[in-house]
Structure 1
Amino acid sequence: MSFESWQVWAVLSAVFAALTAIFAKIGVENINSDLATFIRTVVVLFSFLVLLLATGQFAQSGPISGRTWTFLILSGLGTGASWLCYFRALKLGPASLVAPVDKLSVVLVAIFGVLVLGERPSPAGWLGIAMIGAGAALIASGT
């Protein structure tokens, strides 16, 4: 297993995202979902602070451009909005349904990637994206 491979990191991301759904569903059981999201955010912030300090990566080698700041801020706002919605959905519904519907983000990333970034998925890639969408729709309709 090579930690230089994007595939390894993507699979690890999926594993941790799955664990996140299960842990969050249990954690949000007896508290407000917005408070749960805040607690999660503080944990993530603290964890990254420790990681960056421990590895000496907190220093930036040069100035950070305004464009970079703008898009990182927008990304952070998107993440926050996503987390708020996700925790609210977990509070109201079963994790086994919420998580697959949340993965419609894969379909949206493909569409936005084409429209905004000029990416071009292969025909097989589009088939896989369509299957993810169809799977999420099938799961959601079975409620």
Structure 2
Amino acid sequence: MPPHVRGMIVMVTAMMFLPLLDAIGKWLATVDSLPPATISFSRFFVQSLLTLVIILGMSGIKGLSTHNLTGNLIRGALMGLGSLCFFAAVKYMPLADAIAIFFVEPLLLTLLSAFILKEDVGWRRLTAVVVGFIGTLIVIQPSWELFGWVSLLPLGTAACFAVYLIMNRKYGVADSPMVMQFYAGVGGTAFSALVLMAGEILGHTDMRFGLPTIGLSWGLLLAMGAIATVGHLLVVQAFRLAPASVLAPFQYFEIVMAVLIGLIVFNEFPTPSKWLGIFIIAGSGIYVFMRERSRTQEAKTLA
């Protein structure tokens, strides 16, 4: 199977997996009233410990060497900021709506991949991303209420994640996915710790440190770190296999899982128009998949 096609499959798998992280964050913020900054800190702290144990067990201390320490720490800080924005958003709005706003990100990613990575982004790929974004607008059903200050938080997450994925593509050649995730976890932990300290000084409720009051929450905090580690390892691997512009539309599959989780866990039942948007989103990813496979087969025939 060609690398591009394998990359797309890995990306879809990651996008079906990562919404569990968002759902747990929403549950902790709404049911146990944990501050979003505490949730973000715990997510990265557990990720750092988990990847550290795996690396030391597999390769020893030498396994921690990296060719891009600063870059990987910046990746983590970006994810820390993005996670904080998103966990704060889902505290106040439905999970599927927050992810729908976030999905301006594949369009940003496709544009950045052309300008920064100099990837060849044809009109068909760009059209597929735009069509997928139209699907997200149908899902979210924009209103003045939703596009208040809270709706800006997922947009902040989108910007952070787009740059993070570009850096995955840039640095993924030199370092292993596990090493990249370890240092991203360290960067995210450090950033979240700074936010917690600022929150204590400023007295901002969402930025302060808090402890779970429900026993289940302790296990969910640990689960978040594990899910984040596995999910983002898949994302890093996908970007090692395929160009960012090829993978961008497949991020829309995350909203499919988010809607299902919202229905099952939070009783947020999608309207018919939202289902229409989901089908459009999925269709854009399927089109890019079929298009890329067709191009690969044509290249083999001509070779």
Q: What's the TM-score, normalizing by structure 2?
A: 0.43
Amino acid at match of 1:51: V
Is 1:139 equivalent to 2:283 in the alignment?
Answer: no
Secondary structure, counterpart of 1:86 in structure 2: helix
Moved over 4 A (4+): none
Determine the structure 1 residue equivalent to 2:234: 85
Is 1:41 equivalent to 2:185 in the alignment?
Answer: yes
Q: What's the TM-score, normalizing by structure 1?
A: 0.85
Q: Partners of 2:284 and 2:246 in 1: how far apart?
A: 11
Larger Rg: 2
Determine the structure 1 residue equivalent to 2:160: 16
Amino acid at match of 2:150: W
Correspondent of 1:25 among 161, 166, 169 = 169
Determine the structure 2 residue equivalent to 1:68: 217
Q: Is the 8 A contact 1:97 1:139 kept in 2?
A: yes
Amino acid at match of 2:181: T
| Percent sequence identity over aligned pairs | 23
CA RMSD of the aligned region, Å? 2.2
Determine the structure 2 residue equivalent to 1:114: 263
**Alignment deviations for residues 57-83 of structure 1 (CA, whole Å, 9 cap, x no partner):** 4432x6532122222322222111111
Q: Which has the higher contact order (CA 8 A, sep 6+)?
A: 2
Is 1:55 equivalent to 2:199 in the alignment?
Answer: yes
Amino acid at match of 1:10: P
Q: Is the 8 A contact 2:253 2:282 kept in 1?
A: yes
Q: Partners of 1:27 and 1:14 in 2: how far apart?
A: 20
Determine the structure 1 residue equivalent to 2:204: none
| Gaps in structure 1 of 5+ consecutive residues | none
**Alignment deviations for residues 24-81 of structure 1 (CA, whole Å, 9 cap, x no partner):** 1112122212211221111111111111112214432x65321222223222221111
| Gaps in structure 2 of 5+ consecutive residues | 1-146, 201-206, 293-303
**Alignment deviations for residues 75-119 of structure 1 (CA, whole Å, 9 cap, x no partner):** 222111111100011111111122332331111111222223221
Determine the structure 2 residue equivalent to 1:98: 247
Larger deviation: 4-13 or 14-23?
4-13
